Amino acid sequence: MTKQSPQPQQSALPKPAPEKPQPVIFTDYASI
């Protein structure tokens, strides 16, 4: 369980970055 804890943390860091630009594109599609 301790090994899984550190794994998700690292994945969460790189995920927030790509998730920010994605929402912007979604809003663009909604506008169209």
Q: Which two tokens stand for residue 19?
A: 């998730």
> Which pLDDT score is estimated for 16?
60
Q: No. of H helices and E strands in the chain?
A: 3, 0
> Which pLDDT score is estimated for 21?
58
> Which pLDDT score is estimated for 3?
63
> Which pLDDT score is estimated for 10?
59
User: Which amino acid is present at 30?
Assistant: A
How does pLDDT run across 5-29, given as a tens digit for each residue? 655 565 555 556 555 555 555 566 5
pTM for the model stands at 0.15
> Which pLDDT score is estimated for 19?
58
